[in-house]
Chain A
Amino acid sequence: MTALTDLSIAGMKAGLAARDFSAAELTAAHLAAMAAARHLNAFIVETPDIATTQAAAADAALARGDAGPLAGIPLGIKDLFCTKGVQTTAGSKILQGFIPQYESTVSGKLLADGAVMLGKLNMDEFAMGSSNETSAFGKVISPWTSKGANRQLVPGGSSGGSAAAVSARIAAGATGTDTGGSIRQPASFVGIAGIKPTYGRCSRWGVVAFASSLDQAGPMARTVEDCALLLTSMCGYDAKDSTSLNVAVPDFTAGLSGDLRGKRIGVPKEYRLDGMDATIAALWDQGLSWLKDAGATIVDVSLPHTRYALPAYYIIAPAEASSNLARYDGVRFGLRVTPPGGNLADMYSATRAMGFGPEVKRRILIGTYVLSAGFYDAYYTQAQRVRALIARDFEHAWAHCDLLLTPTAPSAAFAFGDKADPLAMYLNDVFTVPSSLAGLPAMSIPAGLSVDGLPLGLQIIGRPLDEAGVLNAGAAIERAAGFSARP
């Protein structure tokens, strides 16, 4: 029999329904895997007692016949989601010891559907990073290594703990969040699937805020079907999030035929960068021919403002972050540092100096600068206008195609310290940021390997609310690619 931790979520559901194994056994297998893989540092907090209790409840529900759709499925929860009674830090020292008194809507929905929480997954501090090197709780190490080399590699970021745990078979699936690529880029780096739904599909309530107009939760799992299962549970209108979309949530697992007859796949010419990695360029072409084999037609499209997406993002996201992170002042929760003889203002400044890491400080300072008197229009308003042009580029493209296919990231996973310059790190998100700015659903699917034997993902971008179309194209790629490599 396949090891329990190797099963897909769909396979676990079938095995639990057939009584091939119990939820208690399934959870125990994952807790053992978690204990055996602590060197990856994927978890900030492990919650084995909670998991065991939830697994027992799942077994009871399965026996009664009233089990939820995710009963007994062991998941990791990114540490950006507030979990009632379990420390939530967003990867930051400033929230060390913070115990939420409430459950985020998204994690609450997963738990209500019967999921088992294994623990809280490590991440870049406040989701600001693409490598997990900015976590205050130590970097997450990818379970993958390059062929013939033994340097430790990054799992990507910011959902790096989620990526490492799912790839290493510690968790069946995980929650991630994506502001500019934080689900898709790590999924690509570790050879798993991940989808960022349309902005507003998943409630942001109880998710520690980074850049509110961009932040969106989504699932990460080893198969497209598993992503669809988790996404169906995570989505839904929530009156507690004013940007939550009040639209029906389909069963996303229903339409995964992989049949793309009648679909037009756009290829944005601006994504074919000068000096693009040859393996990635070839994989992109391969992906197009797979989609053609599935019945789609391929069309060239243009997204002329693509090159301005990253600089616009690095105004908008830090601006929103500088405002959102103003709440960390040492008064109501988290770290407090009071210099001897200091007053309230000294306490604010000392707390924030001690509690935030260098990248978070850098972004708060950038955000403060671009919003300050005299610079606001030149930077922030201009970035918001460019954002409108980027969204309009996509709208124009939808006149000619139904979905877009691009690479997920410009490279495979890199080694720690390889991108010490912040700008070099930011460029990692070149293919994921434009769809984030436009709020579109987008997914990464593992599609091939680099010359060094490291996973590479392809990205599908869809129209607003067309997660079903994105997932179905993902299913077509998944079938054709037959990606079976594992760390």
Chain B
Amino acid sequence: MSVDDAMVRKIARLARIAVDEAQVPALAGDLNNILGWIEQLREVDTTGIAPMTAVIPTHLDWRRDVVTDGNVQAAVLANAPDAVSGFFAVPKVIE
């Protein structure tokens, strides 16, 4: 499987990263180089092997369903690039 320019544009859009048209061929080359090397995983026989998700077998603890935090609006907004009337502000979404 090789990544062409169209695929680079597609995954850049999925990742919400603007990519200059001039950068596309170089990125395609980089990604193909890395993915080509990763391809060797295909030769490993993994029949009957469950995908590993947890390193140490453990279970998620139950906790009481209670409020542990709150009333920290100023702290939540402290790093906002733009905040208006106690809310995060963003450019217009609806045309």
**Taking beta carbons and an 8 Å cutoff, which residues of A are in contact with B?**
97-99, 101-102, 198-200, 213, 239, 242-243, 245-246, 305, 307-308, 311-312, 314-315, 322, 326, 329-336, 338, 342-350, 352-353, 356, 361-362, 364-366, 368-369, 372, 375, 378-379, 381-389, 391, 421-423, 438-439, 464
CA of A239 to CA of B69, assembled, Å: 14
Neighbour of A314 across the interface among B7, B30, B34, B51, CB < 8 A: B34
CB pair A356–B17 under 8 Å, yes or no, is: yes
Neighbour of B44 across the interface among A343, A372, A379, A386, CB < 8 A: A386
Tell whether B12 is near chain A: CB-to-CB under 8 Å. Answer: yes
Which of B1, B30, B54, B95 is packed against the most chain A CB atoms within 10 Å? B30
Tell whether B93 is near chain A: CB-to-CB under 8 Å. Answer: yes
26 A-B pairs in the complex with CB atoms less than 8 angstroms apart: A101-B78, A198-B56, A199-B56, A246-B61, A311-B37, A311-B38, A315-B41, A331-B80, A342-B91, A343-B93, A349-B13, A352-B18, A353-B17, A365-B11, A365-B31, A368-B15, A369-B31, A372-B11, A382-B41, A385-B50, A385-B52, A386-B46, A388-B46, A422-B30, A422-B34, A423-B37
Neighbour of B88 across the interface among A239, A331, A421, CB < 8 A: A331
**Taking beta carbons and an 8 Å cutoff, which residues of B are in contact with A?**
1, 3, 7-8, 11-19, 27, 30-31, 33-35, 37-38, 40-42, 44, 46, 49-56, 58, 60-61, 63, 72, 75-76, 78-82, 88, 90-93, 95
Q: With A326-B16, A334-B79, A348-B16 given, name 20 new contacts (CB 8 A).
A: A246-B61, A330-B81, A333-B79, A335-B81, A336-B81, A347-B90, A349-B18, A365-B8, A365-B11, A365-B27, A366-B31, A379-B38, A382-B46, A384-B52, A385-B44, A385-B46, A385-B49, A385-B52, A386-B44, A438-B55
Chain B residues contacting A344 (CB-CB under 8 Å) are 90-93
- With contacts defined as CB atoms under 8 Å apart, how many contacts are there between chain A and chain B in the complex? 164
CA of A336 to CA of B83, assembled, Å: 12
CA of A20 to CA of B80, assembled, Å: 48
CB pair B30–A362 under 8 Å, yes or no, is: yes
For residue A398, give the distance in angstroms from its CB to the closest CB of chain B: 14
User: Secondary structure at chain B's binding surface: helix, strand, loop or mixed?
Assistant: loop
CB pair B17–A391 under 8 Å, yes or no, is: no
